[in-house]
Every structure is written in C-alpha cells, then in structure tokens.
Amino acid sequence: MHIALRQFFAVAGVALAAQASAQVTFYEQNNFRGESFSTQRQVGDFSRYGFNDRASSAEVTSGRWEVCEDSRFNGRCVVLRQGRYASLADMGLNNRVSSVRMVRNDARIDDDRYAPMPVTEAPDFRRRNNERLYEARVTSVRAVVGPPEQRCWIEQEQVPQEQQSNANVPGAVVGALLGGVLGHQVGGGSGKDLATIGGVVAGAAIGNQVGRNNTPLPAQTRDVQRCRDVPSQAAPQFWDVSYTFRGMDHQAQMTAPPGRSITVNQRGEPRE
C-alpha cells in the first residue's frame, strides 16, 4: 500500500512539474511586439487579466495549448504546438483569443484541430548556468517580410457612346408636317397629291437627321475596380542573421535586428 502511494505521488509530482514548466505567451501585435501576457496554467477568461481579444501573435515555450475565441473554452478553438506564431491571423484568431488551457501530454488530438505549423520552433537563447559568452561579428542581416499586398481602388471611366439605332421620332414628325405643307403648294390635281407625299417623306428624313445632329447623347460613366500588387508594408516577420565565430559561418533567425555583433556561447549559439 505504501509503495503504491509513493508511486502515485511520484507520478503526480512529475505531472505537476511538467505542467509548471509549460508556458504560452501572447503578444498584442504581430511578430511578438507590444504588451504581452504569459501563463503557465489555464485561463478561462482573458477579461480578468485585461487581455481579452488583444492577442495577435503567440509563443509556446513548451507543451501544447488550446486557445479559444470565447471564454470558458467555447467557440472556435485550435491547438498550438511548441513554436513561435508570428501572426494569429493565419488561423482566424487575430484579436479574438478569450481563453486558453494546456493539453495533457497523453491527450490525443485530431490533426484538423492543430493550428498551422509555426515557421520556426521557439529558439531558447537564454544563458545556461556557468556558460561563457563571446561576441561574434555580424556579416549580414536580411529582413523577411510577408508576400506582396494587393491594393485596389475604384475609378470612373466613360462608357463608349453607341450609335443611336432608333429614329428621332419628334424630329421626323415635325419634318413630315413641314414637308407636307411645302409639297402641297407645288403642282395641281394628282400632281399636287404626289408632291404632298414626296414632301412628307423628304421632310421626315430631314427632321430625323436634324434632331439627330442637334441633340447629342449625354456622356455616361461607370465604376470600375482596378488592382495591383505592391511590396508588403508590414513589419518584418523575422531577421535572417549571418555571423562568423572562430572562423566558421553561422546563421540564426531573430525577432529583432542585431547590432554589429551578437552574443554567442563557445559553440557559436546565440545567447541573450
């Protein structure tokens, strides 16, 4: 009985230690900028800590964490694995996280519940105990930004005027009346009737043409959307840093641009 109890408490102690070491940090801006909120235990409502619907990026130091858009782990939820998530917009949770809880190590999670894999795992640049540090010369720095952005706007363009297909009825009627009066004054008898008919036809044609020439069609416009790709104006997601140490070339990804040198350990690994 005592052996069973000791085994139980030993297992419980390991579980508590693992839970205590697990941590997730949320940042209010992309690329781990702005104010942050860290926790090592579940939080059912971010409003209690003044961080509700404010998270835009996250860093999981260890463990797996389920983040949800509503309090008390309701609404849409995704599971974050260890790593750095420069933008929560990729999973539809930008400024929408309201609760978070750790997922047990033995819990089975369906693949569709996981968030997209982070670009890079969270690097641990913390200094180890009694670790000797050195300065390494930076040789190049390259800022890595997102894909080009599409900018769209609305323009007004003039619609081409089509040829007027319908006859100018008012002008034709007036022309026909005038042509008939003038034609009636010419000739006599049946000749006068023929002259009247000819005057009506000619007057209608002239009236139609006159109305067409003197009444231009009004110009018409329409709204047209136009788009073009422009370089991304967003802040860099990270910096690719190349440096040399003891005659060897090294490369690291950092969340902030370095100076002329960076701090490394004896193996050339970056340290804060």
Q: Pick from 89-98, 174-183, 191-200 the range whose average pLDDT is largest.
A: 89-98
Residue 238 pLDDT grade (very low, low, confident, very high; cuts 50, 70, 90)? confident
Structural domains of the chain sorted by starting position, each given as residue range(s) with its CATH number in brackets: 22-113 (2.60.20.10), 125-145+236-272 (2.40.50), 167-211 (no CATH)
Higher pLDDT, 117 or 196: 117
Instruction: Reply yes or no on whether the pLDDT at 181 is more than 60.
Output: no
pTM score, whole prediction: 0.42
pLDDT of res. 177: 45
The pLDDT tens digits for 115-169 are 887 755 556 677 888 889 999 999 998 877 655 566 677 777 777 765 444 545 4
The pLDDT tens digits for 213-230 are 555 666 787 877 777 766
The pLDDT tens digits for 22-76 are 789 999 988 888 888 889 899 999 999 999 999 999 988 888 999 999 999 999 9
* Long-range CB pairs of 71-80, under 8 A, 24+ apart, other chains included: 71/44, 71/45, 71/46, 71/47, 71/98, 71/99, 72/44, 72/45, 72/99, 73/44, 73/99, 73/101, 74/99, 77/113, 78/113, 78/114, 78/115, 79/103, 79/109, 79/113, 79/114, 79/115, 80/24, 80/115
